Amino acid sequence: MLKRSKLSAILDHAILILGALFMLVPLLMVLQITTMPDVEVIKHGPSFQIGDQFDDNLKKAMLEASGFSGENTGVNMLKNSFVLGIGFAVGKIVIGMMAAYAIVYFRLKFATLAFWVIFTTLLLPLEVRILPSYEIVQRLGMLNTYQGLIVPLIASATATFFFRQFFRSVPEELIEAARIDGAGPIKFFVDILVPLSQTMIAAMFIIMFVYGWNQYLWPTMITTEEGMFTLVRGIKQITQVMEGNRIPEYGRANVLAIIAIIPPVFVVIFFQSWFVKGLTESDK
C-alpha cells in the first residue's frame, strides 16, 4: 500500500513537473534572449548562456522609439495597452451590468426577446463584422483614438449573460426590502446590486482585461499612428524592421514580450485572491 502510494506520488510529480517545464521553458527562453546581444541570437538562437545585455535591451525597449515618429516607445505602448485593457474591461462590465439590470428588474415588454437578441451576438464576434465596424469607426473620425479602439468592442453578450444569471439569483426579498427602505432604481443598483456583484465583477474584470490586453486584430486595423500602438501590436512591429542590413532587435522584442505578460499575470493574481475570498465568504 505504502509502496503504491509512493509510486503514484512519483508519477503525479513527474506529470506536474513535465507540465511546469512545458509552460516555463518558452518563458525562460524569452528571458535568456533578453540578456543577449542581437547578433548572438541570430547566430546561435536560444542557448544556455546568460548574457549581460538585459539592462541595455530594457532601456532600449522602454525608452527608445522603434519607428519613425519617435512615439512608440515601450512606455508609451504600455500606457496604450493599459488604456485598452482597462477601458475594455470596465466598459464591458458597466454595459453588461446595466443591460442585465434592465432585463432582469424592469417589466419590459420584450425583455426576453431583447436578451436573446443580445445573446445571439455571441455568434457575431468582431472578426465577422470587422469591415463594417471599421467603416463606422472611420466615418465617425475615430481612427487612431482610444474611443475608436475601445467603444466598438465593449457591447458584450458574455458579460450581460453572466450578470443576468447572477442578478436572477439575488433574493427577491432583498429587492423588496430595499423598495420599502425607499431605494429607487438607481440607489438600489448602486447601493445594493453593485456591492453584491463584487465577486462577479472581479471575475469579469480578470477575463475581460486579459482579453482586451491581448487584442491584436482590431488595434492593428484602427491604429496607424505609432503613438497609438499597443504592446501586443508593437512587438510585431519591431521584429518586422528588417529593411537593409539591419538585424531584427530580438532582445528588445523579447523584453517587450515579458513586459506584455506581466500586467495580465498581476491582474489574475490580484483579483483571484479577492475572487476566492468573495466566494468563500458568501453571504448572499
Q: Does 107 bind another protein (CB under 8 A)?
A: no
Q: Does 174 bind another protein (CB under 8 A)?
A: yes
**Which window, 88-96, 135-143, 177-185, 228-236, contacts another protein (CB under 8 A)?**
177-185
Q: How many angstroms from the chain centroid is the CA of residue 256?
A: 16
Task: Pick the closer one to another protein by CB: 192 or 261.
Answer: 192
Question: Is 233 in a helix, a strand, or coil?
Answer: helix
Length of the chain: 284
Question: Considering only residues 191, 224, 225, 270, which one is a binding residue for another protein as defined by CB under 8 A?
Answer: 191
Q: How many angstroms from the chain centroid is the CA of residue 262?
A: 11
Task: Pick the closer one to another protein by CB: 183 or 268.
Answer: 183
218 neighbors 70 (Cβ within 8 angstroms): no
Q: Does 181 bind another protein (CB under 8 A)?
A: yes
Name which of residues 197 to 256 contact another protein (CB under 8 A). 198
Read off the C-alpha cell for 194.
Answer: 453593485
Alpha carbon distance 238, 228 (integer Å): 15
Q: Does 176 bind another protein (CB under 8 A)?
A: yes
Residue 130 phi/psi, 5-degree rounding, is -70, -35
Question: Considering only residues 43, 44, 187, 277, which one is a binding residue for another protein as defined by CB under 8 A?
Answer: 187
Angle, CA 123 vertex, CA 118 and CA 126 arms, to 5°: 95
- Site residues (vs another protein, CB under 8 A): 171, 173-174, 176-183, 187, 191-192, 195-196, 198, 281, 283-284
